[in-house]
A = this chain, B = another copy of it.
Amino acid sequence: MAKKQVTFADIAEYTHFSKTTISRYFNHPDSLTLENQEKISQALDTLGYKKNKLAKVLANGKSEFIGIIVPNLYLHYYSEMLTQLLSSYSNYHYKFLVFSSEHGAEEEQQYIEELLSYQIEGLIVLSHTLSSQKLASYQIPVIAIEREAEYISSITTDNYMGSLQATSLLIRDKCDILIHINVNVEKTVPAYDRIRAFEETCKEYQVPYDIDLSVSGNSYQEILNVIRRIFTRIEEKYPNQKKGIFLANDTYANMFLNLIFQKYGKLPPTYEIIGFDNSPIASESILPITTVGQQIDVIAQTAMELLVQQMEEQKKRAPKPLEKPIHKQITPVLIRRNTTS
């Protein structure tokens, strides 16, 4: 509000060109003589011109905005994913409007409305509350990351492969009993494949297994208490057997490892432990934890490629809305550290 911005009109007046020519200076500089480019260039910084992209957007319809909705940034997975998405700026020059939504569907819908009102060209969704059907109804390119995505395109870690790798390692290491510890995930969620792969692999190789889906809780302490109960149960039930424990994530794995260490002062040879995610805690733990590493950078990159592609399509005169959603899976890598032999 202070002093009016310097606009194309001002530049035009100063240089005795028209606004159109000034515009061209920015968008098709080749169509001006070098001499005139120089004139305008000089006028620009004697007048102290600053672009106004909003006006540009209004005029040409290309906002270069992408909306992101994450459940939270507390979990390393989400914050790292956001980092990777933001870093794509250097490639694509899309700007990101970020919302964090943890209070249910209404809130999330409201955020999307707001995002749409800023003419976002695409949307990346990491939260779970809105159905993919609802998301598809917004008629805008959407990419889901690691969530239910029947009606929209998605990128997901290949949970089945990850779990298979972990389970196979425990089998190769000749564990007597394989145990998988997880929350009771719904079958529609991609992460359910971790349970499925564990079970199917155990059956295939005919090794005894035990699936414990009793984990729950909203705080570290609550979850730790559950893990402690599970630990006690396992200690009692499989006293002298070699136990291969595959946990749903590195946080659980770290809890379990701590409990072992507090009891034995070390990791006894009767235990092998594998986590999931390759989050920092896996390497910061008392013993670096073997884990299934999600390739967050690759996931983010792939998401952007897919989204950019669909957004480009939208800008054409006859945008074909992509009759079938595209689903990509990124294979995770097994990272062997010190909790397996």
Contacts and interface: CB of A to CB of B under 8 A. Distances in A.
Interface of A: 1-2, 50-55, 57-58, 61, 63, 72-74, 79-80, 82-83, 86-87, 89, 95-100, 113-114, 116-119, 139, 220, 251, 254-255, 258, 261-262, 265-266, 280-281, 283-286, 314-317, 319
For A54, A87, A285, the residue with the greatest tally of chain B CB atoms inside 10 Å of its CB is A54
Contacts of A80: 73-74
A61 B118 contact: no
Given A51-B117, A283-B220, A96 B97 contact: yes
Contact of A281 (B113, B281, B316): B281
A141 to B, nearest CB: 12
A54 B286 contact: no
A82 B286 CA distance: 29
B61 A72 contact: no
Given A50-B116, A220-B283, 5 more contacts: A50-B117, A79-B82, A95-B97, A261-B261, A265-B266
B98 A86 contact: yes
A117 B52 contact: yes
Given A98-B96, A265-B266, A118 B54 contact: yes
Contacts of A99: 86, 89
A218 B99 CA distance: 30
A1 B315 contact: yes
Contacts of A50: 113, 116-117
Contacts of A281: 280-281, 284
Contacts of A82: 73, 79
A118 B55 contact: no
A63 B54 contact: yes
A118 B53 contact: yes
A136 B174 CA distance: 64
Contacts of A285: 258, 286
25 contacts: A1-B61, A2-B314, A2-B319, A50-B113, A50-B117, A51-B113, A52-B117, A53-B117, A54-B54, A54-B118, A54-B119, A58-B58, A73-B73, A73-B80, A73-B82, A74-B80, A79-B79, A83-B100, A95-B118, A97-B97, A261-B286, A262-B286, A265-B265, A281-B284, A286-B286
A55 B58 contact: yes
Contacts of A57: 54
A173 B317 CA distance: 74
